[in-house]
Structure 1
Amino acid sequence: MKIKEIMSSPVYVVSPDETVARARNLMLRHRIGRLVLIENNKPIGIVTKKDISRRLNQAEPEWRRRPIDSIPIRQVMTESLITIYPDATPRQLAGLMVENNIGGLPVVNDKDEVIGIVTKWDMIRYFSELPLKLKVKDMKIEPAVTIHRHHTISHVLYELDSNSSDRAVVLEDNDKPVGIITSSNLAFTEMKSKTGGLPQKEIKMTRKESAAGRKQYRYVREVPLVAEDIMSYPLISVDLEDLATDAAGIMVKEKINGVPVIGNGVMGILTGENIVNAILTL
């Protein structure tokens, strides 16, 4: 099989001078995770959900004062663009992904024109159709980053960065897994306040009843959003004994790039990276 048989097309592209808000909205509208940046009809970079969500938590005073509708994509894009030709194989693609720690590549023709894009999700779909007997427990699943449902988004981003991960399982007080936060949740949340800071919410708190028996309320503003505000739920998960290809099929059906493995608690996460590494050994 060749890359041209599994790549996605058409490719959504943007100019490097368009805004981060425009990129975010395109990703949200088309349910995609990356955009190719084109200048003078040539690909010059790529921007992903992770680029956006990570950059939105940076603390430079100038950045924090600028809302995302005034920041050019050029400031968050990855410039060292790696491409692949349509006649390459999935195994060759897996090698490029692992070697360069990337999740997607534009597919170009001999004129350096973008004709498609291939991502880990395409590789998951390819893997799900292979006649393999591997089980989830054979896939060297990654340890799961876990967070409490009341942790702030800043803490979530810190944990993800510290663990070089792009997803975290959200736990209840009794350590029961109740949801998951991914780069999609972070990038597609309205990640700005009026000053360009991190998102907040308004809560209403009850005060004791008045003499007339009516409850009095006061409003508390500028309360940071927490994990449970943006997590995806109910949680989709797999078991250690499930076939790896079946687990990949669930990921394809649900359009997700990673799925928690649940046993005696959270055992880890089966990710697109695990699947790409497995393809590399086939």
Structure 2
Amino acid sequence: MNKSIAELMTKNVIQVSPQTTIAKCAEIMSQFRISSLIISDNDLPIGILTERDLVRLFSQSVSLEKAVAEFMSASLVTVLVDTYSRDACHLFVVHGIRHLVVVDESGRLAGIVTETDFRRNAGVEEFIGLRTVASIMDTSVLLLPPDTLVANAARMMNSRRVSCAVVVDDLVPIGIVTERDMVGLYRHQVGVAMIRDIMSSPVATITQELLVVDAVQRMQKDVIRHLVVVNSQGETVAVVAEQRPKPATKKRCLEPYSIPFLI
């Protein structure tokens, strides 16, 4: 069903001013467990700060006392509230974004839509069919030993532009560190700790033979955004995650539901 974007969006969006410190932004995102903050001026959205942005700032040792205006993404992609969800999903793919700002006719903030909103509400099963995890998993997973420093993990996640790092012992996953984890670690300046001390464990794992629809349902049930794919020996081979869509190709433009809420 091609719903209106107003049916999928989050309406009560947390906003901050351009003068808000990075520390305060990280605190708000950690407190409310949100993946982005809208920076606005009199309800007019002028920028966005995401978990990935904070991982980048953490990796660059940017002071938490800096104002968000200096580091926010100002090139917002916006849609009107009456935009159809299929058209909105097309914008996710074309622009390679994970957050879409919804505005009213006067340009004021009305809501925000994320990949998660699509996955939970857009009836993805009809688009997935009988595809298996093997068809959508990311094999370029970042694997780290447990004695990696948090600051170094942040740098590698930023340089590889990945949403998580899997902590392994002889390729067997023993923990995971995500962008959301990094927001809190940056806020508390825990760069010198080892990731074995802060990783989430145990790890949620699946096999590549599993149907994608089952993987999606697993993420919904466990309220997680990453699943580690393992082989018959229990070794890490890939990750399935809600992540940034790849740049659009002609085929993807014609099939707008093929990416944003599947990987």
Equivalent positions of 1:106-185 (< 5 A) are 106-126=101-121, 129-131=124-126, 132-172=129-169, 174-185=170-181
Q: Does structure 1 residue 76 correspond to structure 2 residue 78?
A: no
178-187 or 92-101, which deviates more: 92-101
Report the alpha carbon displacement of residue 270 of structure 1 after superposing the two structures with TM.
1.3
Select which of 9, 12, 16 maps to 1:10.
12
For the pair shown, the structure with the greater C-alpha radius of gyration is 1
Equivalence for 1:243: 211
Give, in whole Å, the separation in 2 of the partners of 1:129 and 1:281: 10
Aligned match of 1:187 in 183, 186, 189? 183
Query: Is the contact made by 2:97 and 2:245 (CA closer than 8 Å) also made in structure 1?
Result: no
Please give the per-residue CA displacement for 1:88-133, whole angstroms capped at 9, x wherever unaligned. 3333233222222211011111111211111111122236652332
Note closer, same or farther for the CA distance 1:191–1:273 as it changes in structure 2 (3 Å cut).
closer
Note the C-alpha offset of 1:145.
Answer: 1.0
Query: Which segments of 5 or more consecutive residues in structure 2 lack a partner in the other structure?
Result: 247-251
- Cα root mean square deviation, aligned: 2.4
Question: Counterparts of 2:139 and 2:75 in 1: how far apart (Å)?
Answer: 27
| AA partner of residue 271 (structure 1) | A
Q: 1:108 to 1:99 in 2, by over 3 A?
A: same
> Are 2:190 and 1:199 aligned?
yes
Within 2, Cα distance between the matches of 1:128 and 1:247? Answer: 14
Identify the range of structure 1 (42-51 vs 161-170) with the bigger mean alpha-carbon deviation: 161-170
Distance 2:116 2:103 in 1: 19
Work out the CA distance in 1 between the residues paired with 2:121 and 2:214. Answer: 12
Equivalent in the alignment of 2:249: none
TM-score (norm 2): 0.84
C-alpha contact (below 8 Å) 1:139/1:274 kept by paired residues: no
| Partner Cα distance (1:21, 1:179) in 2 | 26
CA shift in 2, pair 1:180/1:127, >3 Å: farther
Amino acid at match of 2:257: L
Cα distance change of structure 1 residues 31 and 91 upon mapping to structure 2, 3 Å threshold: same
Preserved CA contact (<8 Å) 2:9 2:117: yes
Please give the alpha-carbon distance, in whole angstroms, between the structure 1 residues aligned to 2:193 and 2:208.
33
The aligned counterpart of 1:211 is none
Residue 55 of structure 1 and its aligned partner are, at CA, apart by 0.7
Task: Tell me the secondary structure at the aligned position of residue 93 of structure 1.
Answer: helix
Divergent runs of 4+, >3 A = 126-129, 273-279
**What SS does the corresponding residue of 2:105 show, helix, strand or coil?**
coil
- Inter-partner Cα distance in structure 1 for 2:123 and 2:200: 23
Change in Cα spacing, 1:92 to 1:140, as seen in structure 2 (3 Å) is farther
Structure 1 counterpart of 2:27: 25
CA distance in structure 1 between the aligned counterparts of 2:20 and 2:43, rounded to whole angstroms: 15
Hey, what does 1:41 align to over in structure 2? 43
Query: How far apart in 2 are the matches of 1:258 and 1:268?
Result: 11
Name the CA shift for 1:33/1:225 in 2 (closer, same or farther; >3 Å): same
Distance 2:224 2:94 in 1: 23
1:56 match: secondary structure: helix
Cα distance, 1:258–1:85 mapped onto 2, change above 3 Å: farther
Q: Describe the SS at the equivalent of 1:84.
A: strand
> Displacement of 1:229 after TM fit?
2.2
Residues 23 and 187, structure 2, Cα contact 8 Å, conserved in 1: no
| Alpha-carbon distance between aligned partners in 2 of 1:233 and 1:263, rounded to the nearest angstrom | 19
C-alpha distance in structure 2 between counterparts of 1:128 and 1:263, whole Å: 29
SS at structure 2 position matched to 1:118: strand
